[in-house]
Chains A and B, each alone.
Chain A
Amino acid sequence: MQAVRMSMGAAVLAMAFAANAAEVEVLHWWTSGGEAKAAGELKKMLEAKGYKWKDFAVAGGAGENAMTALKARVVSGNPPAAAQIKGPAIQEWGAEGVLASIDDVAKKDGWDKVLPPAVSSVMKYKGQYVAAPVNVHRVNWLWVNPLLLKKANVKAPTTWEEFFKVADALKKAGIQPVAYGGQPWQDATVFETVALGVGGADFYKKAFVQLDQPTLKGPTMVKVLETYKRIKPYTDKASAGREWNLVTSMVINGTAAMQFMGDWAKGEFLAAGKVPGKDFLCVAAPGTASAYTFNIDSFVMFKLPNKNAVKGQKNLAETLMSPQFQELFNLNKGSIPARMGMDMSKFDECGKKSAEDFKADAAKGTLLPSFAHGMAMSSATQGAMYDVISQFWNDDAASAQKTAEKLATAAKVR
């Protein structure tokens, strides 16, 4: 079946590419403001090298629609040159036998030297590069409105003990302490941040990367769950189902003081004309200053039968990893370059801090994949975890002990 599919696809593609030889088709879901601008830069760079960029943009934030479209294209044997896929999903696609190796490009440009192993291992399938990373998002941030903290006469918290004290003080001053979005992925985002803060990097790695059963069921996990649930009284009732950007706008407008979210939230602050360090603060979430949960966007290369198209694809990979593109793209997107050792002078305060921490944590081995953002486990396992965490958050009677056991069961879903 695989062979039939591929050869059918080969025939279709051969016909398609005979007409315009050097065309690079890229599937992505960068359709919102800053993202679309970033994609436009990539297009310009490729066209300067003499390739024709063919946009295959599918709207929809988390890329669900794009993935459905991609599956249809791959099954029909007509994949695009590259598609925006990240994390362990790269391995899942690799297992389907449809990805192309770009190891020669990676060797030539020395990717192994500029990427920390925690990142490059995600980009490889069976030891060969099949994907190029374009950015690094840090997930374990706490976004703070400093004016509200001043009103309550408190400072941004650095530990969980402090966090609850600050939250109490804010509540007393009549300010809603935490802005929260009750969607499963946001529940998981806050949960993993709490887990990292309470349990530390080793616990995080054991629980969510190695899916170690005793750790998932153990007393530390119970404590993590209890701490996570303690946040709930500091959120408002209407938070269920709220979109993350609406949550951020609550911090911007001063209706709530803090939000746990990755650094894509920075884009919202900047778009509202706020200045980092003055109108808003980016601090590492309580207890997580010495670790870094990452969410990396990458482009995965698909097997193409046409030689010219393959050339275009390799050129695309080269361009994606070039320092110029990484800088331009990330200035627009709010994240930091995946390449290390780049000049960060054009980036803002949060970006600089993120890049410094990224380097330090890469050296210490505390770069951790964010499981809430599809970097640590298969989508099936991740989904099962989401279910358990959301249910725990929403059910006020749920027991932390039983939920820890449910997490362990969820980790067995493969």
Chain B
Amino acid sequence: MSAISRPAHYGFAEHWLPRLVLAPSFLLVLVFLYGFIAWNGALSFTASRLLPNYEWVGLAQYEALFASERWWVAVHNLFIFGVLFIGGAMVVGIVLAILLDQKVRAEGTLRTIYLYPLALSFIVTGTAWGWMLNPGLGLEKLMHDWGYAGFSFDWLVNPDRSIYTIVIAGIWQSSGFVMALFLAGLRGIDDSIIKAAQIDGAGLPRIYWRIVLPAMRPVFFSTLMILTHIAIKSFDLVMALTGGGPGFSSDLPATFMYQMAFTRGQMGLGAASAMMMLLTVSAIVVPYLYSELRRSRHV
């Protein structure tokens, strides 16, 4: 009798246990992620000022957002920052990974050195680069002290250039991380393919370009995903490096949102800008997830 009931009992546990275990975290995610996204969405249609209220104003906050000069500066900066930061970190990271992959001596040490910036927070990175790029303290003063009086590097305090200093610090921070991902990918490639190519007489650049890099498509895409969302939510780096300035010339949507919602008492406008950021991220992530999930089903 027990022999019969035991499998049945086991089946019940097998059926319910995973659901039971997952339920709390599922519930938490549902409430604290999707619930709050929905709440934020609702707030963006209200006249909320200092505190949330529920006076419905339709699309007025979005109209105000699109009429705001500062918002368009932030969007423009995000575009510059996104393209250069993602591209730069990718290129530098891949090149570092390929160079390190040549079985060099003391690879472990070098790898640690390159990866180390990732161990620092963006706040530290921003503060340190803020000092280095400050014309009164850092690079420019150093060169002047060394006798190169004509040297000028004032991007940090130049409203037309300030966004590029954020790109520099961002690349410095993240390229080691890209390197680590790609190095792991490179190590996963079967040596025999490369050997076969070498026997066929292909040079090393050609091997990397035609065989190795195409094989790393998944690594490439996951890195792109991570860097993209870092770029869009980038907040701490800007706050520490330029504070969004000079003026608001290096504002990004994330810093814009914070300013409006929390320091200027325009919560509705802040919520609307947050929704725009969410839509930007989903415009990139959703097609990617869709294609990836479809691929795995077919393969």
Contacts and interface: CB of A to CB of B under 8 A. Distances in A.
A394 B249 CA distance: 9
A306 B52 CA distance: 25
Interface of B: 49-52, 54, 69-70, 130, 134-137, 154, 156-157, 159, 242-243, 245-249, 259-260, 262-266
Contact of A92 (B50, B70, B157, B262): B50
A213 interface: no
22 contacts: A64-B262, A183-B243, A183-B245, A184-B245, A184-B247, A184-B248, A237-B135, A237-B136, A238-B135, A238-B136, A240-B157, A241-B242, A379-B265, A380-B49, A380-B265, A383-B260, A383-B264, A387-B248, A394-B245, A394-B246, A394-B247, A394-B249
A261 B156 CA distance: 24
Nearest to B245: A241
Contacts of A64: 262-263
Contacts of B265: 89, 92, 378-380
A391 B260 CA distance: 17
Given A182-B157, A238-B134, A380 B243 contact: no
B263 A383 contact: yes
B98 to A, nearest CB: 38
Nearest to A88: B265
A74 B134 contact: no
A220 interface: no
Given A241-B157, A241-B242, A387 B263 contact: no
Interface residues of A, number: 32
A390 B248 contact: yes
A343 interface: no
Most buried by A among B50, B54, B249, B263: B50
Interface string A222-236: 000000000000001
A236 B144 CA distance: 15
A115 to B, nearest CB: 25
Interface in A199-247: 236-241
Nearest to B249: A394
A63 to B, nearest CB: 9
B255 to A, nearest CB: 12
Nearest to B248: A387
Interface string A385-397: 0010011011100
B250 to A, nearest CB: 10
Tell which of B51, B54, B130, B242 has the most Cβ of chain A within 10 Å. B51
A380 B247 contact: no
Interface in A343-390: 378-380, 382-383, 387, 390
A18 interface: no
Contacts of A74: 51
A44 to B, nearest CB: 33
A99 B51 CA distance: 14
A237 B245 contact: no
Contacts of A380: 49, 264-266
B136 A383 contact: no
Contacts of A173: none
Contacts of B49: 92, 380
Contact of B159 (A75, A183, A236, A394): A394
A307 B298 CA distance: 69
Contact of B262 (A1, A68, A93): A68
A236 B154 CA distance: 12
Contacts of B137: 238
Q: Which of A92, A184, A241, A390 has the most CB of B within 10 A?
A: A241
A71, A74, A238, A382 pick with most chain B CB within 10 angstroms: A238
A67 interface: yes
